[in-house]
Amino acid sequence: EAGVTQFPSHSVIEKGQTVTLRCDPISGHDNLYWYRRVMGKEIKFLLHFVKESKQDESGMPNNRFLAERTGGTYSTLKVQPAELEDSGVYFCASSLLFGQRNEKLFFGSGTQLSVL
Amino acid sequence: AQKITQTQPGMFVQEKEAVTLDCTYDTSDQSYGLFWYKQPSSGEMIFLIYQGSYDEQNATEGRYSLNFQKARKSANLVISASQLGDSAMYFCAMRPVEYSGAGSYQLTFGKGTKLSVIP
């Protein structure tokens, strides 16, 4: 069974440019999460999809970030325009059952974003 | 609000020895779950073990066990018989059991502990 796949693994862009990160969850997982780790800080929640709907986007830092999950399969996270403080590792995770007590999140390997 | 504290930025352990990674937490939720994840150099975050605040017994998964002390608000991870492949970053995380609206159900992570296993 394929795990959570993220693309690209690394991205280096200049301030003001646009970057789109992609996440392919485990097949059949309705729940998809985006998290981010900024250097030296904790991993922070960004948003949560249940199928194609945004269940919770309270962690999105500002309107430069746009997440989509068309058709309830893969998801994209677009940053436009990118700023220096957006640098970090962006993780995607998926899970099968939302709301289960020990709901296990399967994480991808992350996308390392560097904004210069 | 929830908070996870991992006070050990880095740890060393001899191969085949046991090691304890510390995790303390703070929450106002009555019921919550505690998770440990491992992140090897490949980058993927791997789920290790789960402990519910309502569980009467400490969780165990193979060589991993969780020393859960609710009154002290600690959930330390114990790895027995360390192996070279255990070298990685380890993250403690928590989440409420019940979903109560936007912002309520996200995983809260600590900063992590980097474990190095010495041959």
Q: Is A12 on the interface with B (CB under 8 A)?
A: no
Is A42 within 8 Å of B45 when comparing Cβ atoms?
A: no
Quick one: CA dihedral A91, A92, A95, A101, positive or negative? positive
Report yes or no: B83 and B117 within 8 Å, Cβ to Cβ.
Answer: yes
User: What are B33-67's pLDDT values in tens digits?
Assistant: 999 999 999 888 999 999 999 888 999 999 999 99
Share of chain A above pLDDT 90, in %: 82
Angle in degrees, CA B52, B58, B59, rounded to 5: 70
A81 preceded by a cis bond (ω within 30 of 0): yes
Is A109 within 8 Å of B111 when comparing Cβ atoms?
A: no
pLDDT band per the 50, 70, 90 thresholds, residue A1:
low
Question: Among A78, A91, A82, A89, which Cα is nearest to A115's?
Answer: A82
pLDDT band per the 50, 70, 90 thresholds, residue B101:
confident
User: What are B66-91's pLDDT values in tens digits?
Assistant: 999 999 999 999 999 999 999 999 99
Secondary structure (3-state) at A64: coil
Calculate Rg over the CA atoms of chain B: 14
Name which of A4, A42, A96 to mutate to probe chain B: the one with the most chain B Cβ atoms within 10 A of its Cβ.
A42
pLDDT at A46: 96
Chain A residues 80-99 within an 8 A CB cutoff of chain B: 89, 91, 93, 98-99
